[in-house]
Amino acid sequence: MADVNNPALAALSAALAPELELAQVRVRRVAEGFELRHVSDREAEPESLHRVDFPELRTLASHTAAGEFRPIKAAPNLRAGWLCRVASAAELELALNQLYPGALADWFAAQQPVPPVTHYRAFTARQTGMYRITAMLADAPAAQVIRACCDERFCLKRRLWSVDGLTVDAPEAKSLIPCLEPCAVMMEFARKAVRIEQEEVKPTLTLAPSEITTLLAALETAVARPPASQREADVAAADNPRRLQLLRLKLQDFVPIAAKSGGE
Ligand code: SF4
């Protein structure tokens, strides 16, 4: 590893003892350099995996196995079945940047005494144009929006930024890749949440506790099994999984009431 003169890469090299997992990618030191593969292929024979060169990893990471575009590269839907070998630490950095752009730099930055984190309030305060309204969410609804958007079913980055009343992700949560500030999908989702809050006509609906339980179960099923054609960044779609998850979180506020009332 004499060719390591990048501090982030040197730190990663030290952490590779002899392997580590970066979100859904397992990196292992081998005699000829490093080997990368999907974590679900940990036990697979190398011959059974499709060999790719590191420049091909960007294409591999751009779409799911079902062919859908992956707007968030840290979403837990990286396709499996491939193996990539690189000869040097410099190539390892290039390979990781194809799979998880910026992850190595962010991982290293997060280990500094004062990580460069931008919290929701500071981030939204400097938004202009269509995203200015994201600053209008009060702390409690903003926390719900963040919890829904950054749920581990949608993104494996460990969130280090927050809003008052919401804790950051625990060190062991999700993956080694930190999230240092709200991403573009988060901003789009927050904007949609504000627009939903601003809808003037809000019909009232009275539900029995058991009906709340049924709705929660239906939402859970829908979040867990989105259609293959679902575009995850399309928050305008009523059945977008993040929107379903946000509704789940709102309904869960009523669960204690449902329990007290004898609901299932
Ligand atoms: S803001 Fe949330 S969804 Fe976006 S990258 Fe960070 S943790 Fe993931």
pLDDT at 2: 43
Mean pLDDT, residues 94-109 taken together: 96
Structure confidence at residue 257 (pLDDT)? 56
Report the nearest-CA residue for atom 3 of ligand 1: 150
178 upstream amide cis, omega within 30 of 0: no
Decide: 103 in ligand 1 pocket, CB within 6 A. Answer: no
DSSP secondary structure letter of residue 81: S
Residue to mutate, 147, 186, 192, 243, ligand 1, most ligand atoms under 8 Å from C-beta: 186
Query: Could you identify the atom of ligand 1 that is nearest to the CA of residue 154?
Result: 3
Provide the residue ranges of all domains of the chain, joining segments of one domain with +. Answer: 7-110, 120-258
Percent pLDDT > 70 in the chain is: 95
Determine the Cα–Cα distance for residues 210 and 25; give it in Å rounded to an integer.
Answer: 42
Mutate to test the pocket of ligand 1, among 24, 118, 151, 155 (most ligand atoms within 8 A of CB): 155
Q: For the segment 105-154, what is each residue's pLDDT rounded down to a tens digit?
A: 999 999 999 999 999 999 999 999 999 999 999 999 999 999 999 999 99
Q: Which helix (H) or strand (E) holds 7?
A: helix 7-15
Instruction: Answer yes or no: is the C-beta of 158 below 6 A from any ligand 1 atom.
Output: no
pLDDT at 99: 97
Q: 159 in ligand 1 pocket by Cβ < 6 Å?
A: yes
Residue 58 in this model has a pLDDT that exceeds 80: yes
pLDDT at site 258: 53
**Cα separation, 185 vs 217, whole angstroms:** 26
User: Rounded CA gap, 152 and 208, in Å?
Assistant: 30
149 C-beta closer than 6 A to ligand 1: yes
pLDDT digits (tens, 9 = 90+) for 6-17: 899 899 988 888
In the predicted model, is pLDDT for residue 71 greater than 70? Answer: yes
User: How would you classify the pairing of strands 178-179 and 158-159?
Assistant: parallel
98 CA to middle of ligand 1, Å? 18
Average of per-residue pLDDT values in the chain: 92
Q: Does the Cβ of 241 fall within 6 Å of ligand 1?
A: no
SS3 34: strand
Q: Which of 151, 154, 176, 185 to mutate to test the pocket of ligand 1 (most atoms within 8 A of CB)?
A: 185
Higher pLDDT, 1 or 50: 50
SS3 of residue 232 by DSSP: coil
| CATH class of the structural domain 7-110 | alpha beta
Strand partners, 34: 29, 86
Q: What is the pLDDT of residues 198-228, one digit of tens each?
A: 998 888 999 998 999 999 999 999 998 887 7
pLDDT-derived band of residue 232, with 50, 70 and 90 as boundaries? confident
